[in-house]
Structure 1
C-alpha cells in the first residue's frame, strides 16, 4: 500500500506538468498492472504467476505503443518499472509464509542476496542510485519466484497449469513475432529507427530479426527456447498442440539467436539422458519430425535463407565476424577483470547502461559479465550458486521426476547460455527461476477453493 500511495503521489505531481503527459501515461499503466497483480493475488492467486510472466513478456511492446502514439522515443522508460513492481508483490505471501521456507530455498536466497548487495555497495558510488538500484532490482525480482513457490500451498497440479500458461504466452508472443517479421507494425518500426540498434536488422518486412514483444532478439530467443523445450518435454505442457509448437519453432528461428538454439539443444539432451525409455522414444520421434520439417518445409518459407546461413555459420566460426568480435571482446575483458578483481558493481553493464553512459550495455559473455560486475569474490559465489542448483536439481528426491528433469535441463541450458550472455536478470531470469522453482514446491495440501486451480 505504501508503494501504491507513493506511485499515486508521483502521478499527481507529474500530472501538474503538462509537458510530461507521456510519462503520466506510462506511470498510469505501471500502476494499473501493479494493482492487477495485487488483485489477482487476493482473488485468484493461482493465476498470479501466468500474469507476472505475461507482464514480463509484453511490457516492452506497451512501451513502444506509447512512444509511437506520442511520436516521442523514451530512452529510459518508466514502463520498465512494471515487471519489477508486479514481481515485488510476491513479497506479501513470502513474508506471510516465511516459516515454511526450506533450508535450500533460504540458502539460495541468502547467497544471491549477498552477491547482489555486494554488487550494490560497489556500484552505488560509481554509477549512482538509479543505475545500481535498477540493476539490483532487475536481478532480485525474478529470484523471488523461488521462495514464492516454496511457501505456496497450492496442489501439485498447479505446476502443470503454470507450465501450460507459460507455453501459451510464448505461443502468442511467437505469433506476434511472425507477424512482425512479415508485416512490421509501425510502432515497432518507429522503435527500431529511434533506438538505432544495428544488430536487429532493418525496419522492413522480412529484413528484421524478430524480437516480438520483448526488448530485442536476445531475450526473445531465450524466452522461445525455454518455452519450446517445455513443449517438447511433455505433451500436457504444450499449448495449442503441434501447431503451437511449430509456431514457437519458427519464431525462435526468426530471432537468429544461435546461443538460444544451443541452449535448447543442451536442455533437450539433458532431459533425454534422464527420461524413461518410453519417453525417449517419443522425444526422438518428435525431434525427427522437426528435422524433417526443417529439411523439407523450411526452405520453401520466406526468410529461410537467413536462417540457413545462420546455421551454416556454426561450421565456419573462423570466418564468422560475430564470433571473432566476441572472442576479441572476451580477451580484452579478461585482462580488465584481472586488473580489477573487486569488480565494478551493479550498474556497470546491461540495461542500466541507459541510466549510466559509462556502462557497457552489450556484454557478450555471461561468465565474464558476472566477474566484471561482482568481481572475483562475488563472481565465484554466484557461479558456485548456479553449480549448486545444477547438482541439486539432478540429485534432489522428488516423487514427480518430470519437474526435476525440467529444472535440471534448465540449469544445463543456463551453463551453456552463459557462454554468450548473462540472462539471470530481466525476462531471462524470470523464465529460468520460474522453471527451476518447480522443484521447490514442497507443500502438497489442496487449497480451500478448488476453483482456484482453474485457469481464469
Structure 2
C-alpha cells in the first residue's frame, strides 16, 4: 500500500498533492455539480453514492490520510447534496444519496477483518465487543425482517465502530491523522457554521422544501428565523454533535482562521437549539481543562476568554438572541417544556417494555405507536434493537473503551488527545437524550476515542524507542 502518512511538515501546503487523489475527489465534485446544474438529479441519486464509494476505495488503498478527510467531508456535505437533488428532481425518502458516507466508512471493515485476531486480546477489545453486539442484532434482524430493512440500521450502528477501530490500529500514523482531523474540523466548523447562520437568516428554498416534505415539526418552521439550524447536515442533532466536537478542537488550534470559525461556529451551534449537545459541550470542557498541564491550562483559559469576547456580542444580537434565550430558559423551567415532558412521559410508557427485551427485536425494528421515538434515547434503542444479549457486549465495549481512554497521561502534554477524550465523553453523555452512539454522532464518538487510543500507543512506542536509544 502506498503511504501518505509520514509526519507532516508544519509549513503550509497550497498545492493539491498528490495529483491523482485530488483528481479523483474533484472529479466527483464536478460531476455532482454538473448533474445538479443540468437538472439530472435522478441520475445523481445513484451515481453519487456509487462514485463516492469508488473514490473512497481508491483513497483507502492508496492515500489513507486523504481517505480519512474524504469520509468526513462526505458526512458533512452529503445531506446538503441530497436536498439540492430533491429540490430539483422531486422528493424521495429514503434517499440512496445518504448512504454515501457510511458506505465509504464501511470500507474500514477490511481493516477490522485484517487486524481482528491480533487485537482481540489487546486494546482493540472494546471495538470488537461492541461490534459483536451489533452483529448479533443484525442476525436477529435478518431472521425477522427483509434484508433491505436491516441495511441502513446496520450502517448506522456498525460504520462508526469500524471507522474508530481503523484509526486506532493505524496508530503509527497518529501525527498525520491528528493534523488531518484538526484541519478537517477547522474548515468544517467554518463552512458548516457559516451556512448554518445563513440558513437561519434566509431559509434557502431547498432547506424549506426538505423541512416541509420531511414533516419534521420539531425542527422549526420553513421560514427565515424559524428554523432550528441543521446547516449542511441531516438534522439539528448530528449537526450540533459535529459542531461540539469541532469547537472543542478549536481550543487547541493555532490557525488564524479559528477566530472566524469560532464566531459562526458557536452562533450556529446555539441556533441548533440542541440542549443535549450543549450539555455535552459542558461535559467536554469540564473534562478537558483539568487533563492538561498547568501551562496549557492557562493558555486554554486565555483562549476561552478571547473566544467569549468574539461570541457573546453575536449571541446577544437580534435576531439571534430571542431564540437562544428562550431555549436556555427551558433548563430552569421544565414545567412548560413540551419536549422534555413528552420525553419523560414516553420513558414511563415504554421503559418497562425495553427492559424486558432479552433476545431483542434485531436491527430494523421500528417501535409502533412510539410517542417517545426509540431514536430519542440511545438506551431504549439499544434494548429494543439488541436486547440484553446484544446490549451487554455493546455497552460493555463502550465502558471498557472509556476505561482505556482515561488511564493514560498523554493528554497532559498533547492537547489534541485531551480534546479527543473530552469529545468522546461529551457525545456519550448524551446517550439518554438521543442515539448519540449511532450514525454521524456515533462516528464522532468512536473516531475520537479511536484516535485517542492510537495516541496512547504512539507515545508509548516513542518512549520505548527513547529509552532504548539512551542505553
Q: TM-score, normalised by structure 2?
A: 0.81
Matches within 5 A, 1:379-390: 379-390=391-402
RMSD: 2.8
Choose from 180, 183, 188 the match for 2:199: 180
2:408 is aligned to 396
1:286 is aligned to 303
1:119 is aligned to 137
Q: 1:90 is paired with a residue of what secondary structure?
A: helix
Matches within 5 A, 1:328-347: 328-347=345-364
Q: TM-score, normalised by structure 1?
A: 0.84
What's the offset of the Cα at 1:297? Answer: 4.0
Alpha-carbon distance change, 440 to 297 in structure 1, aligned in 2, over 3 angstroms: closer
1:255 is aligned to 272
Q: 1:28 is paired with a residue of what secondary structure?
A: helix
What's the offset of the Cα at 1:286? Answer: 3.4
Provide Cα deviations, 1:352-388, integer angstroms capped at 9, x if missing partner.
Answer: x8xx999985532222222222222322332222221
Rounded to whole Å, the distance in 2 between the matches of 1:147 and 1:324 is: 38
1:407 is aligned to 420
2:434 is aligned to 421
- Matched pairs, number: 418
1:324 is aligned to 341
Rounded to whole Å, the distance in 1 between the matches of 2:381 and 2:432 is: 10
Q: 1:74 is paired with a residue of what secondary structure?
A: coil
Choose from 365, 373, 386 the match for 1:374: 386
Q: 1:154 is paired with a residue of what secondary structure?
A: helix
Rounded to whole Å, the distance in 1 between the matches of 2:397 and 2:138 is: 18
What's the offset of the Cα at 1:43? Answer: 4.3
Choose from 184, 195, 201 the match for 2:220: 201
Q: 1:315 is paired with a residue of what secondary structure?
A: coil
Choose from 69, 85, 99 the match for 1:81: 99
* Structure 1 stretches lacking a partner, 5+ long: 1-20, 447-456
* Structure 2 stretches lacking a partner, 5+ long: 1-39, 463-471
1:267 is aligned to 284
Residues 105, 146 of structure 1: 8 Å contact kept = no
Rounded to whole Å, the distance in 1 between the matches of 2:223 and 2:161 is: 37
1:13 is aligned to none
Residues 217, 257 of structure 1: 8 Å contact kept = yes
Provide Cα deviations, 1:305-356, integer angstroms capped at 9, x if missing partner.
Answer: 010110111111132111111111111121212343332221125xxx8xx9
Q: 1:250 is paired with a residue of what secondary structure?
A: helix
Alpha-carbon distance change, 304 to 26 in structure 1, aligned in 2, over 3 angstroms: same
What's the offset of the Cα at 1:98? Answer: 6.1
Choose from 100, 115, 126 the match for 1:108: 126
Matches within 5 A, 1:101-180: 101=119, 103-152=121-170, 153-154=172-173, 156-180=175-199
What's the offset of the Cα at 1:100? Answer: 6.4
Alpha-carbon distance change, 118 to 94 in structure 1, aligned in 2, over 3 angstroms: closer
Q: 1:190 is paired with a residue of what secondary structure?
A: helix
What's the offset of the Cα at 1:406? Answer: 2.6
1:32 is aligned to 51
